[in-house]
Amino acid sequence: MLAVVASTFFVGFGGGVVFPILPNLGAILGITPFVVGIILSANRFTRLFMNAPAGVLTDRFGTRKPFVAGLTIEGLATLGYVVAVHAAAPAAWFLFSRILWGVGSALVFATAYTIVADIADREARGTSMGLVRGGITLGFPSGLVLGGVVSELYGISEAFILAAGFALFASLVAFFTVPETHVDEEDETVSPFDIELTVPAVTVGLVNFGLYFAYIGALFASLVLFLEAYDIAVLGFGPQGSSGVFMAITVLSASVFMIIGGVLSDRFDSRVPTLLAFIGISFVGFLILTVSADFYALTIACLLIGAGQGGTSGPLIALLADLTPDDRMGRAMGTNNVFGDLGGGFGPVLTLPAIDAIGFAPVYAACAVVPVLAGIALVAGVRRETGSALPNTDLVNAD
C-alpha cells in the first residue's frame, strides 16, 4: 500500500495542474468554453473505452506491469501540455495529451485498488481503501496549487514541466517498489465491453457517477470562473492561483475524510450508513454555493463537498470488494471507473455552457440533487442484492 500511495501521489500532480490553468487560458489561446470542457473531460471519455480492458488485463496478467506502464504514460501526457502551450494548434495538443492521460490513468486506477483488495482483510478493507484513495488523491491538490501558483509566479510552461518531472519520477518509484499481487491467466479475453454488469458493480458505479458529476465535472471545471465572476481572491492571487488553493482545500478535505470514512465503515456493522451520511454532507455543501458567493461561504462549501466526496470513496470501493469475487475484482473496478468517468466527463461539457447561459446558482442547485439520487440508487441496489438496505459487512458473501 505504501508503494502504491507514493507512486500515485507524485503522478497526481499532472492530473491537477491543468485545472486551474486551462479554463482561464482558453481565452488567450482562442479555445471556446465548450472546447475547454471537452479537453478537461477527454481523459474521462477515453477511460470509458479503456477501463474494461485495464480491468481484464489486471485479472489476466497481474497488477505490476499495467500499473508501471500507466504511470509512465501519464508522465508523457503531462509533457504534452508543454508542447500544447507553444503549438500552432494548442487545442489539438491539449486534447491529445488528455486522451493519453486517460489511457494511463485507466491502467493505474484498475490496478491500484485491485492491489489493495488483494492484500487487505475484510475487517480492515474500508480503512485500507480509504488510506490508498487518500494517498492517491493527495497528489491532485498538489497539482492544483502547482498549476495555479507556479503558473502565476513563473509561467505556464514551467508549471507543466515541473508536473511532468514529478509524474515521470512516479513511474520509477513504482518500478522499483510495487510487487505483484494479482495473477489469473485463465481468462483470454481483453475487450472494451468486458465489464461487470452485476447489481453490486452497477449500483456502486451509479453512485460514483453522481458524485463525480457534481465534484469533478461541475465544481472543479467551473471554480476558476466562479472566482472571477464574484471577484474572490486568496493571498492576492488571481483566479488561477486562487482556484488552485480552493481546489486544494477541497481535495485535502476529501483526503482526510477518505481515511475517516473508511475507518467508520469498518467500525460499524454495515457500510451503508457511513455512505449515506457523507452523501448528505456533499448535498449541504452544494446548497451553500446556491445561496452565498463570498470567501467564507465558498471555503465552507469546499470543505463540505470535499468531505462528502472523500468520506464515500473508501467505503464505496470496500463495499464493491465485499460483494465481488476476487477473480472479478479487476473488471468490477473497471465498471466502477466507467461510471465515474461518465459523470466526470459529462460534467464540464454540460455545466460550463449551462453556467454561461443561466448562471452558477441553478447549476449548483442541480448538482446538490445529484448526490441524493446517488444515495437512493445505493439503497435500492444493495437491498436488491443482499435483501437488506443495511447489510452486515461480516455476512456479505461475494461468492
pLDDT at 254: 87
Quote the pLDDT of residue 188: 47
> Are 319 and 275 contacting, i.e. CB atoms less than 8 angstroms apart?
yes
Give the pLDDT of residue 280. Answer: 92
Res 183: pLDDT: 59
Asked whether the beta carbons of 13 and 166 are under 8 A apart, the reply is yes
Domain coordinates of the chain in residue numbers?
A: 2-177+191-395
Among the CATH numbers 1.20.1250.20, 3.40.50.1100, 3.30.70.60, 3.20.20.30, which is that of 2-177+191-395? Answer: 1.20.1250.20
Q: Which of 3, 41, 1 is nearest to 340 (CA)?
A: 41
Joined together, the cell numbers standing for residue 330 give 479487476
What are the Cα distances from residue 379, in Å, to 209, 374, 385? 15, 9, 10
Instruction: State residue 193's pLDDT score.
Output: 53
| pLDDT confidence of residue 307 | 93
Reference 212, options 381, 41, 334, 332; nearest CA is 41
- What is the predicted pLDDT for the residue at 395? 58
Spatial neighbors of 373 by CB under 8 A, at least 6 apart, are 210
Query: Going by C-beta distance under 8 Å and a sequence separation of 6 or more, which residues neighbour residue 94?
Result: 18, 22, 31, 39, 80, 81, 84
Query: Cα–Cα distance between 386 and 245 in angstroms, integer?
Result: 42
Decide: 270 and 239 in contact? Cβ < 8 Å: no
Predicted local distance difference test score (pLDDT) of residue 64: 81
For residue 187, the model assigns a pLDDT of 46
Return per-residue pLDDT of the chain as tens, 399 residues.
Answer: 778 877 877 777 766 777 667 666 666 677 777 787 788 778 877 877 887 788 777 777 777 888 888 889 988 888 888 888 888 888 888 899 989 988 988 888 778 877 777 777 666 767 777 777 766 667 766 676 777 677 777 877 888 888 888 888 888 888 888 777 765 544 444 454 556 678 888 888 888 888 888 887 788 878 888 888 888 888 777 777 787 788 778 888 888 888 888 888 888 888 889 999 999 999 999 999 888 888 899 999 999 999 998 889 888 888 888 888 777 777 787 788 778 878 877 888 888 888 888 988 899 999 899 888 988 988 998 888 888 878 877 655 555
Query: Residue 364: how many CB atoms within 10 A of its CB?
Result: 26
CA distance 215 to 370: 10
CB 339 within 8 A of CB 316: no
Place of cell 452523501: 279
